[in-house]
Amino acid sequence: MTAPLDVSGTELEAAPEAVLEGSRAKAIQGRSLGQIAWMRLKRDKVALTGAGIVIFLILVAAFAPLIVGWLGHPPTDFNQDLISSETMAPKDGTAISWEHPFGVEPVNGRDIFSRIIYGARISLLIAFLATLLSVVLGTTLGIMAGYFGGWVDSVISKTMDVFLAFPLLVFAIALAGIVPDSAFGLSGDALRVSLLVFIIGFFNWPYIGRIMRGQTLSLREREFVDAARSLGARGPYIIFREMLPNLVAPILVYATLLIPTNIVFEAALSFLGVGVRPPTPTWGGMLSDAVRFYTIPHFMFFPGMAIFITVLAFNLLGDGLRDALDPRAR
């Protein structure tokens, strides 16, 4: 029931209850869930700010080559003329200028701004794909467990228990560490990204799975499901046409809240040196380089803030979504 890292994982716990209440509210008011949620979300300035930042970040990641091309400093290019050969620090301390808005890295003088921009790609790509994997696995298995009950439920539930007992971070590091540089027909960044997506996504599904199982269990007993069943609807129809639409809201909320966890997870793995390989820039990797140069504060400031702002934006948006779908939270 707890998040993977020694980062607080309490977000996900907060609320199977609350979302359940959300879907109940729909029954009372008789308006479309989407309409209600949108109305509430529109009033929530904080959540909208989060959403704005998220969209901005996605655009930045998508158009990274354009932005960087316009600035003219590819993320792996060296600018050693800006580096002191004695201390390896940028000559004037940071080298922050119009040329290099975030300054340059010590030792090789790479442009921090473009590395942050490219880092967003890796970070968001892995976080999104891993979340998708968890959601697909978690929803499928959670609904199966909740809907079929019996031995199916106990096998899936016990499996989730075992997964949750794994020391996830240790395991992820170990796995990411022993896979060699080319394997399974892939190599380079493609391999590392797929590997990280797999590790992060595969070990996180039980969190979603448990919530989905609980939701399905309660939906199964509801009148409209009974009605469909009495009209002769079969399992697949009930699952896809009656239940899934009612699960979209909680899936959306938990997916949004899982993304920041996954961003931190990816950053942690890169920080520990088992993420995407250099010279491909990652925020976690930049932070771990920066630790050795802690006397050059701008080097750790920018990747640290990039992680912070991104995670914060997703948390704001996720909180807002949850509130919007849950009338009693405010």
Instruction: Give the CA distances from residue 131 to residues 29, 261, 269, in Å, rounded to whole numbers and listed in that order.
Output: 32, 9, 16
Question: H or E segment at 43?
Answer: helix 33-43
Contact between 76 and another protein by CB under 8 A: the answer reads yes
Q: Is the peptide bond before 279 cis (omega within 30 degrees of 0)?
A: yes
Residue range at the interface with another protein (CB under 8 A); choices 26-34, 64-72, 126-134, 271-279: 271-279
What residue type is assigned to position 104 of the chain? V
Residue from the set 49, 108, 157, 194 that interacts with another protein by CB under 8 A:
108
Q: Measure the CA angle with vertex 14, ends 246 and 8; round to 5°.
A: 130
Contact between 164 and another protein by CB under 8 A: the answer reads yes
Binding residues for another protein restricted to 177-196, rule: CB under 8 A: 177-181, 183, 188
Q: How far is the CB of 39 from another protein (least distance, A)?
A: 21
Burial class (CB in 10 A: 0-12, 13-18, 19+), 240: exposed
Question: How many chain residues interact with another protein (CB under 8 A)?
Answer: 78
Residue from the set 54, 126, 289, 298 that interacts with another protein by CB under 8 A:
289
Cα-to-chain-centroid distance, residue 13: 16
Contact between 271 and another protein by CB under 8 A: the answer reads yes
Q: Provide CB contacts within 8 A for 296, sequence distance 6+.
A: 89, 90, 93, 94, 106, 290
Residue from the set 33, 57, 64, 89 that interacts with another protein by CB under 8 A:
89
Residue range at the interface with another protein (CB under 8 A); choices 24-32, 156-164, 204-212, 242-250: 156-164
Contact between 244 and another protein by CB under 8 A: the answer reads no
Binding residues for another protein restricted to 291-320, rule: CB under 8 A: 291-297, 300, 304, 307-308, 311-312, 315-316, 319
